[in-house]
Structure 1
Amino acid sequence: MSNTLQALSDHWRNRYLLMRHGHSQANQQGVIVSSPERGVENFGLSEVGEQQLARLVADWQWPAPIHVVHSDFLRTTQTAAHVSARFNLLPRVDTRLRERYFGELEGQGDDRYPIIWALDAEDAEHTQHQVEAVSAVANRMRAVIEEWERKASGETIVLVSHGDPLQILLTALANKPLTQHREQSALLPASITQVGA
């Protein structure tokens, strides 16, 4: 699954392949796993996710990456391992790419997400139910790209993250109000969206 956006800036130094992790055990079970305490060591890829990644790397349709950077959650770590192995790269962790923390909804059914998304549409700064504010997610995700833009040039970098953070990042990069992040096309498991040079 590929989504290609036009360059969102005239001055990108690098190309970024924004990748959502493959189908996970949390997806399979329909539960929210957003805390490091539960997500770093548990809830990795499902069998479906493993198959998705095997197909994706066998039929790679994007520029070959120089770097693979990922959230430290198990599902993103395992996703990054597939891509890294394909290109003989050493993946590196950046905790700023972590899942958005969903606070009191942690461990509950994923049918609870719309409660938070409705609040997001009203206020990108809200932390109701102890969730991480959309604005905070946008800031940490953008900081990853801004750092790579400072320290590298002409490189292709895979950033492996999670659905909500990537939709929020794409909304921020497009200079749209963060309250509109759910209007961004949903990123399917194991999908890649290319941005930049």
Structure 2
Amino acid sequence: MSTSICLIRHGETAWNAVRRLQGWQDIELNQTGREQARALQSYLSSSAFQMPVDAVISSDLQRASETAAIACKHWDIAIQQLKGLRERGFGTLEGQAWDAAGRHGPDQPDDTVDIDYAVEGGESLRQFQTRVLECFETLAQENPGKNLLVFAHGGVIDMVWRKLNQQALNAKRAHAILNTSLNFFSIDAALKWNSTLWGQLPHLNTTLDEQR
């Protein structure tokens, strides 16, 4: 019996807008991020979103949990928060510009990146993916046959994408991971992962454009 998951990136923050490393820093949504979350709420509450939702789960960082609270306000469902869904910890690099972080930042990796290197106080790519995948497999085992709406971070989505597509942790990714994008996949009882739809943004192609 498979667990179906719709994995959603949080809305934009001020640090996203200027490309500063957030990691475990608890940065709130900016106005654009809240507009994105409201657009998402409009979509999730419409007939266009057809996945029944049994549970809503979020990273415990407020940019994800606030997105979840806004987007899911039409449902009478408590939002469970999990530390395991946090963004990658960047330790002493958090707060710096992506460019200043250089090859140890979250920008496109290449095959020269050491996946076992961890900045002081942070996580290596391997440690990060292990944490993320274990969190999702635990959720699947605890919720067999259910449909989960999960709010997390760009790095978390990247780790899941690499698992689903059997991509190395230091392989380049051809697409961006956009704020409030929807990504659908499932995990079955044998812990086999299957991708369904990826990088969907139906709410931002309609609602926000109509508001401009």
TM-score range with shorter-chain normalisation? 0.7 to 0.9
Match status 1:106 vs 2:90: no
- Looking at structure 1, the residues matched to 54 and 15 of structure 2 have their Cα atoms a distance apart, in angstroms, of 30
Q: Secondary structure at the match of 1:187?
A: coil
Q: CA offset at residue 86 of structure 1?
A: 2.5
Task: Return the match for 2:158 from 154, 167, 176.
Answer: 167
- Percent of aligned pairs with the same residue? 22
- Between 117-126 and 88-97, the greater mean CA deviation after superposition: 117-126
User: 1:104–1:62: structure 2 CA closer, same or farther, 3 Å change rule?
Assistant: farther
Q: Secondary structure at the match of 1:75?
A: helix
* Structure (1 or 2) with the greater helix fraction: 1
- Between 114-123 and 151-160, the greater mean CA deviation after superposition: 114-123
Q: How does 1:44-193 map to 2 (within 5 A)?
A: 44-60=28-44, 61-112=49-100, 114-116=102-104, 117=107, 118=109, 121-128=112-119, 131-180=122-171, 182-183=172-173, 185-193=175-183
CA contact (8 A) 2:90 2:119 kept: no
Q: Secondary structure at the match of 2:51?
A: coil
Please tell me the residue identity of whatever aligns with 1:179: N
- Looking at structure 2, the residues matched to 50 and 157 of structure 1 have their Cα atoms a distance apart, in angstroms, of 22
What is residue 200 of structure 2 aligned with on the other side?
none
User: Which is higher, the Rg of structure 1 or of structure 2?
Assistant: 2
Please tell me the residue identity of whatever aligns with 1:176: Q
Q: CA offset at residue 75 of structure 1?
A: 0.4
**Larger RCO: 1 or 2 (CA < 8 Å, sep 6+):** 1
Q: Secondary structure at the match of 1:146?
A: helix
- Structure 1 unmatched ranges of 5 or more: 1-11
TM-score (norm 2): 0.76
What is residue 197 of structure 2 aligned with on the other side?
none
CA contact (8 A) 1:68 1:83 kept: no
Q: Secondary structure at the match of 1:183?
A: coil
CA contact (8 A) 1:172 1:178 kept: no
Q: CA offset at residue 139 of structure 1?
A: 1.0
CA contact (8 A) 2:64 2:152 kept: yes
Q: CA offset at residue 79 of structure 1?
A: 0.8
Q: CA offset at residue 78 of structure 1?
A: 0.1
Q: CA offset at residue 90 of structure 1?
A: 0.5
TM-score (norm 1): 0.81
- Looking at structure 2, the residues matched to 114 and 19 of structure 1 have their Cα atoms a distance apart, in angstroms, of 27
**Which 4+ runs in 1 deviate beyond 4 A?**
117-121
CA contact (8 A) 1:99 1:161 kept: yes
Q: CA offset at residue 62 of structure 1?
A: 4.7
User: 1:110–1:57: structure 2 CA closer, same or farther, 3 Å change rule?
Assistant: same
